[in-house]
A and B are shown apart, each in its own frame.
Chain A
Amino acid sequence: MGMKKKWVMSAFVAFLVFAMAGCGSGSSNKAGSGSAGGETIKFASDASYAPMEYMDTDKIKGFDIDFIKAVMEEAGIDYTVTNTGWDTMLSSVKQGTEYQAGLSSVSITDERKETYDYSIPYFESTNMIMVKEGSDIKNALDLKDKKVAVQAATTADDLMSGIMGVDNGNLKRFDSNAVALMELNSGGADAVVADIAIVNEYIKNNPNEKLTGIIDKENFGSEYYGILYPKGSEWKAKLDPAIKKIIENGKYTEIYKAWFGEEPDTQTLLNAE
């Protein structure tokens, strides 16, 4: 009898777990067709990625924020951008009910396209290696037997998993780039790999820590950021032309120069599609 009870109990727990999973999928199925009629598009973002998107006390700022402002003006659609954090952004954009899109420097990869739709590319980025001055690391392949810190769930993580092996103990994945950078300063890592904008910003803000950035175009190819949509979202068709327009008419270049002090390669960006 006691044995039987235990089995019923275990089956019930298993049911609960999968019922929860079922709920998540139920609402995501609606998302594809359910976003009709909205005049306002709500963007979710993880605003902890200066200078791309970050919080200045209670205001959200950054390149992506200025970029989307130009896009929405071009498209003539009302919008809001809310800092929801990364995981909330992922789950709510997938459902598409509360937030219809994600704007958070999300790199476009084939694996992620299985779950989401993306806008056309709006930003070209590459990963960069940051080391202490005098390090013998010269390129990405030198990192193979070194201790490398990355932010978990980023393309830096993907790239280094590819080079070092996903289960390599010397590849340390941290909760945020800030903690990964601290690990380098504390001697727990020989290098940090992160987006070029993040690394440059960090080196600029910490001149006393004697850091050098290494660009390795050969091993770290270009990657492109896109706006994240639920599968089958109608917003893609509405916003893609506006994105293209501001890249072509120079508005994009203006914003880019204001944030990074240099000209973007808009031709590569347009061709990347």
Chain B
Amino acid sequence: MDIRFDIIAHYLPVLLRGTAFTIGVSIVSIIFGSILGLGIGFGKMAPKAYFRWPFHCYINFFRGTPLYVQILIVHFGVIPAFYGSTNVLMTSFVALSLNSAAYSAEIFRAGIQSIDPGQREAAVSLGMTRAQAMRFIILPQAVKRMVPAFGNEFIVLVKDSSLLALIAAPEIMYWSNTMKGQYLRIWEPYLTAALIYFILTYSLSKLLNYIERKV
């Protein structure tokens, strides 16, 4: 077995720090992505076509272009325009949140539209306003249906965050690239990274199964 465990042991502390970065960025981005996605999802369900249009464009742009390109555009285009210089942490949050928002918006829309229109009609005929019907009747049912899709989105986000190595965000792939450079060996860094991602997503999916049962 030609695996140098000493190299892995040497890099383990920084790889674990990279893991913490990956988890942190993913959690923040899924939260901001969902909040933003909720707004965009409602925007796309607006009754007027001209009002729907910008949301429609947003979703199509972020789902129709690679995250790889989006990260570069945010890092070298968007963030310097606001900050005056690049900022890795901001790029990580912004790029992943914007991307995740597009997918979340579709999850919200699909979830809400999956509830039978009769539910709303019934609520309105009982004297509720449309907003009340949405909040008390439709959303609680829709959220339950959205949970698995959100779980998936979160797992995808964890894996996609590996693309942040491109702009030197200190996450898991970044540190395994560093490890590769020092020794010019590729299996130790890549298999270790794969194992860490696997442990992350596998425990996450177990956790999500548990939540699904509870909701």
State the A residues within 8 Å of B (CB).
13, 17-18, 20-22, 24-25, 28-29, 87, 90-91, 106, 111-112, 114-116, 149, 152-154, 157-158, 161, 166-167, 169, 172-175, 179, 182-183, 186-188
* Contact residues in A for B168 (Cβ distance below 8 Å): 149, 152, 172-174, 183
Asked if B17 is an interface residue, CB under 8 A from chain A, the answer is yes
A32 to B181, CA, bound (A): 23
* Given A115-B184, A153-B178, A187-B80; 18 other pairs, CB 8 A cutoff: A18-B1, A20-B191, A21-B3, A25-B1, A25-B3, A153-B177, A153-B182, A153-B184, A154-B181, A167-B17, A173-B178, A174-B168, A175-B177, A179-B166, A186-B75, A186-B85, A187-B86, A188-B88
* Contact residues in A for B180 (Cβ distance below 8 Å): 87, 90, 152-153
11 contacts between A and B (CB under 8 A): A21-B1, A25-B2, A29-B2, A91-B186, A91-B187, A154-B181, A158-B181, A167-B14, A179-B166, A187-B80, A187-B86
**Contact, CB under 8 Å: B80 / A13:** no
A172 to B195, CA, bound (A): 24
**Contact, CB under 8 Å: A157 / B3:** no
* Contact residues in A for B84 (Cβ distance below 8 Å): 187
**Contact, CB under 8 Å: A188 / B86:** yes
A174 to B88, CA, bound (A): 12
A27 to B14, CA, bound (A): 30
B residues 83-101 in Cβ contact with A at 8 Å: 84-88
* Contact residues in B for A116 (Cβ distance below 8 Å): 184
Closest-CB distance, B196 to chain A (whole angstroms): 11
State the B residues within 8 Å of A (CB).
1-3, 13-14, 17, 75-76, 80, 84-88, 165-168, 170, 174, 177-178, 180-187, 191, 194-195, 198
**Contact, CB under 8 Å: A112 / B183:** yes
**Contact, CB under 8 Å: B184 / A157:** no
Closest-CB distance, A110 to chain B (whole angstroms): 10
* Contact residues in A for B85 (Cβ distance below 8 Å): 186-188
* Contact residues in A for B167 (Cβ distance below 8 Å): 174, 179, 183
Contact of A153 among B75, B76, B87, B181 (CB under 8 A): B181
A17 to B174, CA, bound (A): 21
Residue of A nearest to B183 (CB): A111
* Contact residues in B for A28 (Cβ distance below 8 Å): 2
A198 to B165, CA, bound (A): 22
Residue of A nearest to B195 (CB): A17
**Contact, CB under 8 Å: B3 / A175:** no
* Contact residues in B for A21 (Cβ distance below 8 Å): 1-3, 187, 191
Known: A149-B168, A172-B168, A173-B168. A24 touches B86 (CB 8 A): no
Residue of A nearest to B182 (CB): A111
**Contact, CB under 8 Å: A182 / B2:** no
A28 to B2, CA, bound (A): 9
Residue of A nearest to B170 (CB): A169
* Contact residues in A for B75 (Cβ distance below 8 Å): 186
Residue of A nearest to B190 (CB): A87
* Contact residues in A for B13 (Cβ distance below 8 Å): 167
Which one of A114, A169, A179, A186 has the highest number of Cβ atoms from chain B below 10 Å of its Cβ?
A: A186
Known: A17-B191, A153-B177, A187-B86. A87 touches B186 (CB 8 A): yes
* Contact residues in A for B177 (Cβ distance below 8 Å): 152-153, 173, 175
Closest-CB distance, A272 to chain B (whole angstroms): 20
* Contact residues in A for B170 (Cβ distance below 8 Å): 169
A152 to B76, CA, bound (A): 19
Known: A17-B194, A186-B86. A115 touches B76 (CB 8 A): no
